[in-house]
Amino acid sequence: MCLKRNAFFKILLLFFIFVILASCAPKRIRLYGVSDPIRSSVVASALTLQGKPYRSGAKGPDAFDCSGLVYYVFKQHQVSLPPPAEAQGRAGYEINRDGARPGDLVLFKIGSEFHVGIMISGGEFVHASSSRGVAIDSVDAGYWHKRLVGYRSVL
When divided into structural domains, the chain yields a total of 1
In a domain, 89, yes or no: yes
Q: pLDDT tens digits for 102-148?
A: 999 999 999 999 999 999 988 999 999 999 999 999 999 999 999 99
Does any domain span residue 66? yes
127 is catalytic: yes
Any domain includes 16:
no
Determine, yes or no, domain membership for 23. no
Is the residue at 109 inside a domain? yes
Is this model's pTM higher than 0.85 or not?
no
3-state helix, strand, coil in the chain (%, to 5): 35, 25, 40
The CATH number linked to 61 is 3.90.1720.10
Nearby residues of 65 by Cβ (< 8 Å), 6 or more positions away = 54, 55, 56, 57, 58, 59, 128, 130
The mean pLDDT of the chain is 85
Sign of CA dihedral 41, 42, 47, 48: positive
Give residue 42's domain range: 34-153
For 9, phi and psi rounded to 5 degrees? -65, -35
* Domain-embedded: residue 1: no
- Give me the pLDDT at residue 8, please: 60
Point out the catalytic residue in the list 2, 24, 66, 77: 66
Selecting among 24, 77, 115, 145, the annotated active-site residue is 115
Q: Is residue 29 part of a domain?
A: no
